Amino acid sequence: MARIGFIGLGNMGGPMAANLVNAGHDVTGFDLVAENVAALEKAGGKAAGDVASAVRDAEIVITMLPAGK
């Protein structure tokens, strides 16, 4: 399966990343909120301490970020 870097593990990104893990993908994620990263780890994903680490070995990068408004 694919190596995926996932940035933004909040209300939408967290469940999406967990579904990718459940589908057998190797997901490494980053979020500014530590609890969101911990939830990905609990689902079987890997935690990254920063964006660069999350995407370094990724074949695919997904971002799920707020509009900033």
**Domain boundaries, position 13:** 3-53
Is residue 69 scored above 80 in pLDDT? no
pLDDT tens digits for 10-37? Answer: 999 999 999 999 999 999 999 999 999 9
Residue 14 inside a domain? The answer is yes
Is residue 7 scored above 80 in pLDDT? yes
What token pair was written down for 16? 């999406």
Residue 17 inside a domain? The answer is yes
Q: What is the pTM of this model?
A: 0.94
∠ CA 37-16-41, rounded to 5°: 30
Tell me, what's the pLDDT at 67? 84
Q: What percent of the chain has pLDDT over 70?
A: 100
CB 14 within 8 A of CB 38: no
Number of domains in the chain: 1
Residue 60 inside a domain? The answer is no
CB 54 within 8 A of CB 32: no
The amino acid at residue 8 is G
Q: What is the CATH number of the domain that holds 34?
A: 3.40.50.720
